[in-house]
Amino acid sequence: MSPGSPLLLPNGAYVFQKLQDFLRAQYPQFGYKEVITPTIYKKSLWEKSGHWDNYAEDMFSVQGRGATGQTENAQAGEDEEFGLKPMNCPGHCLLFWGEGELKSYRDLPVRYADFSALHRNEISGSLTGLTRVRRFHQDDAHIFCRPDQILSEIEQTLKFVGMVYDTFNLGPYKLLLSTRPEEHYIGTLEEWNRAEEQLTTALNNSGREWAINEGDGAFYGPKIDIILKDATGKEHQTATIQLDFQLPQRFDLQYQASPEELEAGAVSAGDKNIDPSCRRPVIVHRAIYGSLERFMALLIEHYNGSFPFWLSPRPAVVVTLNQKPELLEYAARVQSVLAGVLDPSHSNNAQTSADFKPTPRQLSAIHLPIDVDSSARQLGKKLREAHNKKYNHIIVIGAEEAKSQTVRLNIKNQPNDGAVREVITEVLGRPLTEEDELKGTISVGMTIEEARRYFLALVERFL
């Protein structure tokens, strides 16, 4: 129905949103501000940016309602041609120029981040699962900076990449410097050489090994690509850092120059339209994940479905020994407390309960998708299913747990169990005993409130 456009079920959407939330939580310390931009722009914008001449075959063209000739008395603009955006840089250039007054050199760098959907007209034969699609989302960002800020911004972005990939325990990854294409590029050789020198310096300062990928740069500038391997050894590009001197000229982006910049001399001889008191910013295009869909695919293979707790769509399941009403009621309470629901008594039927009175949740509230299996099946079958579904924790409750208001956590599919042991010890205030680790599996009893604190600690530590 829509080749190359993934549909995500609730569990996939949960992981997708967690990936977005994780980056959003990091943006303040790196100085990014999130923006929202349109999906389509006029053809004239893509001509201005150079995409229509250099990238048109990879774009989807969209016609206004009057362009087909089937609409009489078409209003202004209805016969125009549009393009679905394959990237966000032209839109972010409009934001930089359209925010208001001319920016000062003191205002730079300006960093815009954008999760908007992108569309690229990939060849149908190249479409592959989540790794090669036509509609996708990118943690796309653009840094507008002064020339003397380029090196520090690229180095900071490389640190950002390293922090994120270390958190997901991804690697080792390759760094490639992709240089000027032989054809279909904009700008002068001097500008390209200058840009490639800046990226080379940043790579040398990173302390990581890197290699040159001749001729594979973007049409507007060279780039650093981060390459990860999947489970079969196939390489995939994920993160990218690109340097661009071209779009600032094409969109006539300027900022009020510093006294030092003015003293240093005139602007480039080929750049005649700029105000003498101003200079052009440089754009650093960057994505940390790259395509979120591709990043998800690599994570699924990397974890083999056993996601770390903070990212898992199946962090825990409560399994009942029987279907006695008092046990089902206790299972609902356990689910509510562990999930972080404010009113446990209405957690299962909040939409239809006549006396349910909703109250606004705090934005910082952490909700966990805790499931319950209260079916009449044999316990062994329920446990096998929970294990096969890769739940991080299986919580079996019976009459004894209901009476003591406790739970027993069986940790089954949790990466980095060494750190998990430390968290349990902190929450319980005691080390794990032999009874807690029978047959090599952690199975520890605690109160519901202690279990909730333990779950929150796993989330806070990205475990």
Distance separating alpha carbons of residues 88 and 36, to the nearest angstrom = 10
Q: Would residue 236 show up in a list of annotated catalytic residues for this protein?
A: no
pLDDT of residue 415: 77
pLDDT of residue 403: 95
Q: Would residue 223 show up in a list of annotated catalytic residues for this protein?
A: yes
For 196, half-sphere exposure in the C-beta direction (CA atoms, 13 angstrom radius) is 23
14 versus 219: the higher-pLDDT residue is: 14
| pLDDT beyond 90 at 458 | yes
Using CA atoms, how far residue 441 sits from 401, 421, 461, 463, in Å, is: 20, 11, 22, 17
| pLDDT beyond 60 at 437 | yes
Name the average pLDDT for the chain: 90
Span 157-195, pLDDT tens digits: 999 999 999 999 998 899 999 999 988 787 888 888 888
Span 393-408, pLDDT tens digits: 999 999 999 999 999 9
| pLDDT beyond 80 at 428 | yes
pLDDT of residue 267: 65
Estimate to the nearest angstrom the gap between the alpha carbon of 35 and the chain centroid: 15
pTM for this model (two decimals) = 0.91
pLDDT of residue 71: 57
Q: What is the DSSP letter of 360?
A: P
Q: Where are the domains of the chain?
A: 10-39+85-303, 309-348+365-460
| pLDDT beyond 60 at 269 | no
Instruction: Indicate which residue of 103, 137, 180, 285 is catalytic.
Output: 285
Distance separating alpha carbons of residues 110 and 119, to the nearest angstrom = 25
On the 0-12 / 13-18 / 19+ scale of CB atoms within 10 A, 74 is middle
Provide, rounded to the nearest whole percent, the portion of the chain with pLDDT above 70.
Answer: 93
Instruction: Indicate which residue of 85, 92, 132, 138 is catalytic.
Output: 138
Provide, rounded to the nearest whole percent, the portion of the chain with pLDDT above 90.
Answer: 68
- Provide the CATH topology of domain 10-39+85-303: BirA Bifunctional Protein; domain 2 (3.30.930)
Confidence grade of residue 345 (pLDDT, cut at 50, 70, 90) = very low
Distance separating alpha carbons of residues 77 and 66, to the nearest angstrom = 8
pLDDT of residue 266: 62
Q: Would residue 107 show up in a list of annotated catalytic residues for this protein?
A: no
pLDDT of residue 35: 97
pLDDT of residue 347: 45
Q: Would residue 142 show up in a list of annotated catalytic residues for this protein?
A: yes
Span 26-37, pLDDT tens digits: 999 999 999 999
CATH of domain 309-348+365-460: 3.40.50.800
Least confident of 26-30, 43-47, 97-101, 259-263: 97-101
Q: Would residue 51 show up in a list of annotated catalytic residues for this protein?
A: no
End-to-end CA distance of the chain: give it in Å, rounded.
Answer: 38
| pLDDT beyond 90 at 74 | no
pLDDT of residue 69: 53
Using CA atoms, how far residue 438 sits from 277, 410, 411, 443, 445, in Å, is: 74, 11, 12, 7, 13
Instruction: Indicate which residue of 119, 137, 142, 294 is catalytic.
Output: 142
Instruction: Indicate which residue of 120, 132, 286, 346 is catalytic.
Output: 120
| pLDDT beyond 50 at 344 | no
pLDDT of residue 350: 44
